[in-house]
Structure 1
Amino acid sequence: MTMADKSANPSALDISDDELSQLLSQAKKDLTCLETEKKKKKEKDSTSKNKGRERSIPSLSVPLRLDDGNMSEDSRLISIDSETGMARIDVDNMYKTTSNLSQKSSITAEIEGKNAHPDPTIKRMTAGEALKQREKTAGKNWFGIKAPTMTPEIKNDLRVLQLRNVLDPKRFYKKSSSKELPKYFEIGTIIEGPTEFYSSRLTKKQRQNNLVDELLADKQSRDYFKRKVGEIHARNYSGGKAWYQKATGGNAKNKYKGVQKHSHQFKRK
């Protein structure tokens, strides 16, 4: 330091060597502290980056999705840790799946053995038997309606239903297109509701076994049938022999022949 510097900065002359050494040591400590803090920050940043990379790796290799029950056995063995994000293999489930696979293989082997060696006591149906079995019902499209055994009462009821357009004069029914009786049908009874107890309920005496008996038990229907049958007979037999006999009170020739026979018998006696 020159004399000119000392004259320009007179306060510098007051600092001793010990104070300068203390100041230098304090500056060195501050520098070391700053360097250590910078190193710690760098280490923290590097560790956080590494953790982010480690978490992103399993998402690429193993898709994160919910178990919907349709996952394969291999995917169910893999579980992902929520904290680290790493994939792990469940050893317990692995042993369970292997045991299930062994059971399935044994079951399939038994089934294949049964198919290879069928039971001789079980008889397979022939084509004719299968056809008869199918003809017992109308099929799935018709809700499996069965073909009941035909009895005379059921036949009469079906014929009455075919002629329903003639039975009731005050109600119109479409005429049946086919004359053959149906093969598949169901018979049931109508159950009246609680509000129809007095209006449309039949008593035990009024209830009949079939439709024909119900029609014959009704007086109005009987009178109507009798009148219609008389009209049909009058229309069919008009101008014929029976109609002529009924109109004239009998045939004159037949009466004369009868008188001649009686007269001949009287003379012989």
Structure 2
Amino acid sequence: MSALYYKKLRKQQNPDVSSSEDSDSDEEIPKKKLKSQSKPQAYEDDDDLFVVDRTGNGEAPKEGDFHTLDLLGTNHLEPYEMDKDLKEILEKSVVGPKFEKDFQPQARLLGRNAAARLRKTKGANWFNLPATELTEEHKRDLEFLQMRSTLDPLAHYRRNDRAVLPKYFQVGKVVDAPEDFYSSRMLKKERKKTMVDEILHNEESLSKAKKKYAEIRQKEQTKRRGAFQRFGNRKSHKQQRESKMKNKKNFSPFLGVEMYSTSTQKREWTYTPEKLAAVRLEINITFRQKYESVMKPEELELFVTPEEELRMQRSIEDAALKFADKFRPHIWPSVKWTALSFFKRAFLVWVPSDTSIRMVMMACFYLAMKIDEFYITIEDFVRNMNVGDPRQNAERILKLEPELMKCLNYNLTVHCPYRPFEGHLMDMKTRMLLLNFDLESIRRDSMRFFQHALQTDVLLLYPPSQIALAAINYGLHAQGKSDEILREFLRKLIGIEEDSWAARDARPEDLEKLEKTVTRVNQILKEVEKQYVAVTEQERESHKSQLSRIQALIPELDERRKAEWEAGGRIGEMPGAVTEQPVDSDDE
């Protein structure tokens, strides 16, 4: 393009030198009238574009004389009219005067959200948050903020709204308040240039990080298998033996015994057989003395002995278990155990003759469902009751519920043996691999043992873990298995080495614990076998009629006591009056 341009320019300036070969256009090129009519001198290098000083005759040009410098054979510059072809070619050229303005980076060429990236601020809705330069210090601090949840595992943060570092942010300085000078002020030596530096110089954070790193490393090492496992933090045989002996000191063969040993169930509601009989005799005597002064001789026969009261309770318990088996939705076994425990505890304070024993049992079941989180409405509950008006039954149950909790001294925690039973059964499967029968076959007989135990006093006499062991032993007996299976399981559970007499002599308390556990299991089996007697329908009807006669006589006896109190000058409290307990109230 440049060669053609200069050729045409030369032809305009020197028309005599033009030839037919150099002409690229049919248009007539206007000839330039020269000031000097003399023919210029011809040179051998006329075609050379880089030869200067054609008209100076060899003389050096004067300083500042621009007319003497002629690049193309002229001694002055004149306006030039561009050729049409050349003008069209230049118009199609990309590079031009407006090149920088027309070809700047555009939003449509940079992809999605390019306009937002080109802006220097986030916008007015974000208070013109600037796009701060992302230095290495800022990058580390922003990454640290994204991982802030690792600093304190107990603190809960919202998850990060983005996976990349933000573009718009500002760095500020926290100024301590004067009132926090002694409480939450950072010391001067604790202040660093960045947050990452402060964390790296914080001993507490470093200790937590080291502890977490050790836990992760230990977890990864335990995943190793085969020959590579020994390269982890594996204890020596001596360390393993010492650790095993250390665990034996605080070991108990009863699952869940730690929770039971500190519960109100053991402290308040666990008795010996002698103490339990004494409590029942005491409440029976107290009830008799209450009405003894106003009773006629023939009415004394209506009052029952503690043994007869206990038999009445067994009759109600048998009917309640049948009610639970037919209940819909199906009741969990733990609900039945909790309800029967409440019932037995309540009648260590009340007497069956002075209450509606059947409605007390229903209130115990409804309360047990709440305690075990077996959610059901009172309408659905009374719908399962086949007798009485549903509305009246609901009112009586809801009225009895607070009285029942008060009678139980608000000790509503009941530890059931079903969870220890599952734990012991699972432990037997892992420790006793050489058994020639399926342990799951004893489950049905063990559940029947629990059903029988609910109608005895073992709930008030023994821990639930020992009752679970007794259920396992009962199931083994039902399958025709030997007692040695349970003994062998307890021996492995306690850690007694059968063939090591030296180990037995070193820890004789392990043998004592084993014998004590086996003896207790046998006692539970004997108690259930002795106390459980199926209630006949004739016996149930007899108890029902006897209770109805006593409860019909109670209102008349209360009237006699009130009349005797009035005749005696109304000294003391009125019979039958309820003494309100003092209650702390904000209104007072």
Q: TM class by shorter-chain length?
A: 0.3 to 0.5
Larger Rg: 1
Between the two structures, name the one with larger relative contact order (CA 8 Å, sep ≥ 6).
2
TM-score normalised to the size of structure 2? 0.20
Higher helix share: 1
TM-score normalised to the size of structure 1? 0.41
